[in-house]
Amino acid sequence: MLNVVVELLRKVLLEFRSFSNDLGFKRLMRNSFLIFNENQEALSKLIVHSAHAGITKITLYDPWSYIFSNREILRELTNEFMHTKRSKEVIDIEFFDSDHPIIHPNFIHTAVKILGAQDGRQSIVRACQKLCVECEPANITVEQISECLAKEHICEPDFLLQIGNLKTMAGYSPWVLRITEILQLKSLPSNFSHHQFLSYLHEYSSRDRRIGR
């Protein structure tokens, strides 16, 4: 079964904090990471639900180039579902290929970026080059390194949703997942609802995450 890895990154702090508190979430998810089958319709709905939840950056990890080769279909399905979903909130979803820089999202913008198997290596190279040019070696801090890597989509996800029978991370760096909470599902139906999406957030919120303990 062909699978894709989806990394959802960076939430809008104010709106999502209010949204989460109203639903009774004990803690907020900043980064999430998903693995599931090639159902483009389910993926498009997941993107729209994530945008409505206040997630402003979504990274699709696609080592098989399945999403990239069908990106126009995914874009059309996402736009169609976005306009048919009735909501008082106006959202804007924009797709980026791996070679295009991603802009800093605002409160009504969700950026979706498609990455391939080789993109992570070049991202690390660019991050190192940026640090070498802008900083003296003795003055480089851990915070600067983390910030530079985050701009290249190299972050530690808070939550991993694995859907299907895939038993690996599909080549994604395991060190990035060292403190990630994992939830496994057998399938993600095409008609999965916003209520189901919220149940994943509640699952994450209810867990006791022990970093370094």
- Give strand pairing partners of 59: 7, 113
Residue 68 confidence (pLDDT): 83
H/E stretch holding 134? helix 119-134
d(CA 48, CA 66): 20
Residue 1 confidence (pLDDT): 35
| % pLDDT > 70, the chain | 70
Cβ pair 149, 155 in contact under 8 A: yes
Cβ pair 7, 132 in contact under 8 A: no
Residue 209 confidence (pLDDT): 64
- Does this model's pTM top 0.85? My answer is no
**Cα-based torsion angle of the residue sequence 124, 126, 127, 128 in order, rounded to the nearest 10 degrees:** 90
- Tokens linked to 8: 């959802």
- Across 164-193, average pLDDT: 77
